[in-house]
Structure 1
Amino acid sequence: MTRLAPTILLLAGLAQAVACSRVTTVAPEEPIQIQARPPAAPRPGLPAVPQPPPPSRVTASGDLLSLDEALTFDEEGELSSEHQDILAELARWLATNTEVVELTVEVHSIGAGSRRAHTKRSQALATQIVDALVAAGVDAERLVAASVGASEDGQRDVVLRITARAEAAAVEE
């Protein structure tokens, strides 16, 4: 029995070697044919499937507005032109939400400099955003550019703060 086991293993190994020695090759000149059915035509009379609206790019949480992308400035401190779409969306949001009477734009500055230099730079950055919103159609009287000075975390953080809302109409009894 002890001689039978090695013989069986040897025969099994030879059988595997012979089975693996056959190689099937596909010639590159032969195209591969794939057949698929075209999609079925829509059934007549079925209503269109309603699609959900895209998510809002501007959201309000308490007195703060959040944008789905950060507003950035280039090395010279100029507002990047790539943000025209989000600023237009913010302008539409303000047009829809007329109860927001005043929106304060706060921007932190970064870099070296005195507190006075940071305050001045911060004011200039906030003014650029306000000017862009006015150019997009927002009434300038609804916007305030606020200087908040230097950033503590090294980021030019932009905060959009609702600082005044319209008074709710009194209900007569």
Structure 2
Amino acid sequence: MATAGKEGTPPAQRNYKYVPAGIYVMRTGWGADDTYFHVHGIQLERGEVSSHSHNDTGHVEIHIGGEDILTDSGRYIYNSSCWKDWRHYFLSAKAHNTLYVDDHEMGVVPGVTRTRGVRTYLHAFEETEQYQLIDISHNGYDFMEDPIFHRRRVIRLTDNVFVIEDR
């Protein structure tokens, strides 16, 4: 990493599932023209340990042949800024490539502050000659009047055709 790939050898494993962190990454290789994508399955916690979490469970990033296709907006602004209302936007599901349901922020329990407790389940993380697949679900909208459990499958087919399926 320190030499931007000019020295050393690429890791043998291209695909990684960081289950405790909820980050799932697949790639076609390590070259500048290769493709990579990842899906966030962050476990949003309750209370103070949630301060570095975003409401972005199910967020997808896609990078094809040196080009960002879907990317994370980032946060850029902290609580001490006069723009902190924007900070809350950048932390929200609205600012990420994920599902946002009926003006309800994922993990929010009506009438209760700072309760998130979003949990993710990894259904599939697999690669064949025809496809790569990351399939997760989460309970981020189960506190709604009509509960929703969001399931997202991200599939990369040959020739870098992506299918994102939301249930």
Q: Normalising by structure 2, report the TM-score.
A: 0.25
Larger radius of gyration: 1
